[in-house]
Structure 1
């Protein structure tokens, strides 16, 4: 019996694209989330028309934020932002509960083109060195929480591993991939679209001593120091090894579903899935917000913004343009 047949037998509607699917593998004490992004990601990337390496990198960051942001149990925001010295100097991905996703990038077009010509379009080459901040905002009445990870030649998957090791201290494994699809059925001009997939799995046993992890390298240890050695829990070693078998072409396959992905990984142990959490291409900008921002500037500052008698503001996330007369303020 196929995965689709089994879902139909159980009366389960597949999550489809653009929905995060929570899951649990109880025999291994593992919980996690899987996502397959499609139209939502494609609309965001098409709107910006970034060079392909930038779109791929931003798509990977958006996939990671989708996995992390949908874990929030309260009304709030989860934001990922990089600040680096590479060709792509900034990525911003913002998730607003329950489902809003938006993102943008800042980059040096010439440097990105040079990197692409040299075949250096991997994540470390594009980002360079700097830091990545993950911020959880629970609203005006609550304190914000921020975790910062150094970017020193690591991938976004490794960023997530460091983040959970140093802030949450939860054994975590993440796999991310972004793919491009060319559909030649639409006519003479093939249609290009972006897809992405990701899986996050965490080891959450009842006994906390089973969650031991190796300490992060301190960076200032004397030469010849012996690193602390420990034995990983067998259940976590198995789960992590299974997730690491995921290939980029699987995660970027237009025919792949989150259910099939999880069945392929954990069918021998048994995987339990929960209600999917949909995602939407949703920006938070509005006329009221922009007007409120402009009212906060002095008359002199608004005069500096005025070009040919108008003030134009373009949202960097959704490219919506707002046009005003200075006299309105």
Structure 2
């Protein structure tokens, strides 16, 4: 059975899968909190604005899923940004999350450097990952920067939580391209699990057992509850995160049914760009007359294309005189 925050009694996990939403949950007996994100049309729109090579699209899809997970921790009015700068074939990725659920992103890459079979870590290379949160309520801005060391986004997120937040956390990301009678489309999913006990950490005295080697197992001295939760979360399979026929509630139940899991109202995720004609016009006004003159195209107008959504907007230079 699975519990709901707005219901007194438990109920069966819903068999109905939902796309483009984020499902918060808690495993109270283990002091665990988490987020599960399932992206369909939203991530497909982001990954098809450009003709990305499949390996680059998968990498951007992972970044979008991770940004949705981390951005959901922002209050209802705020922004979160994930940005990489590195020396790999994919030298920059930017994904923005505007609360409560607007997502956009793009990747910059050198296709001539992409080799068959390159791992996500090899595509990114060495560099850094910056995670920035802005709160509208008090105009506060926070940023955490962690190194990229030839590994993927999940490991970079683990490093961020260890170094910056010091919260025991586990991240699992998956991206897949599905083929249906309607055509091909991209899907992505992610799981974030965090250990947030009210009481001080209890000493660990049990080995985690036969959890997968990729689980990112805790170090000696970590709490038994976190060891158990991490071992359960690490059994998640990639296809479970992206399968349109497997609901998020069923996945959470399969992981934590022995302890009991409570789910909270879902949050819708949509692909949405914050660019606008007025915003770009104001940006152009900040340029010098000579800069604007240099931007005039053969048609006598200034054309500006948004890097995120590829929308082209044209302006009459005389409007800025």
Q: Deviations over 1:76-112 (max 9, x none)?
A: 1100000000000000000001111000010001112
The corresponding residue for 2:58 is: 56
**2:302 matched residue in structure 1:** 311
Name 2:6's counterpart in structure 1.
Answer: none
C-alpha distance in 2 between matches for 1:203 and 1:52: 35
Deviations 1:286-310 (A, max 9, x none): 0100100000001000011111211
Q: Which residue of 2 aligns with 1:194?
A: 186
Please name the residue that 2:110 is paired with: 108
The answer as to 2:271 corresponding to 1:269 is: no
Q: Find the counterpart in structure 2 of residue 219 from structure 1.
A: none
What stretches of structure 1 move > 3 A for 4+ residues in a row? 7-15, 208-212
8 Å contact kept, 2:16–2:246: no
2:167 and 2:108 map into 1 onto residues whose CA distance is 32
- SS of the counterpart of 1:236? helix
Partners of 2:12 and 2:233 in 1: how far apart? 25
Aligned-partner Cα distance in 2 for 1:27–1:69: 26
- Alpha-carbon distance, 1:231 to partner: 2.1
- 2:213 matched to which residue of 1? none
- Answering whether residue 15 of structure 2 is matched by residue 25 of structure 1, we say no
Q: Distance in 1 between matches of 2:203 and 2:141?
A: 27
Give the aligned partner of residue 318 of structure 2: 327
Counterpart-to-counterpart distance in 2, 1:304 and 1:65: 36
What TM-score do the two structures reach when normalised by structure 1? 0.86
**Alpha-carbon shift at residue 239 of structure 1 (Å):** 0.5
The alpha carbon displacement at 1:159 in A equals 1.0
In the comparison of the two structures, how many residue pairs are matched? Answer: 300
Contact 1:74 1:138 survives alignment (8 Å): no
CA offsets, 1:234-263, max 9 Å, x none?
110010011111111222222122111101
Q: TM-score, normalised by structure 2?
A: 0.88
1:226 maps to which residue? none
Contact 1:179 1:195 in 2 (8 A): yes
Shift of 1:208: 3.2
- State the Cα deviation string for residues 130-150 of structure 1 (Å, max 9, x = none): 000000012495231100010
Counterpart CA distance in 2 for 1:125 and 1:211 is 38
Query: CA distance change for structure 1 residues 13 and 199 in 2, over 3 Å: closer, same or farther?
Result: same
The unaligned stretches of length 5 or more in structure 1 are 213-228
Alignment partner, residue 215 of structure 2:
none
Q: In the alignment, does 2:223 pair up with 1:233?
A: yes
CA distance in 2 between partners of 1:168 and 1:278 (Å): 26
Taking the aligned partners of 2:279 and 2:203, their CA distance within structure 1 comes to 45
What is the 5 A alignment of 1:134-213?
134-139=131-136, 142-183=139-180, 185-186=181-182, 191-210=183-202
Specify the SS of the correspondent of 2:201.
Answer: helix
Matched with 1:67 is: 69
Residues 60, 311 of structure 1: CA spacing in aligned structure 2 closer, same or farther, 3 A cutoff? Answer: same
Secondary structure in 2 matching 1:33 = strand
Computed over aligned residues only, the root mean square deviation of the Cα atoms, in angstroms, reads: 2.3
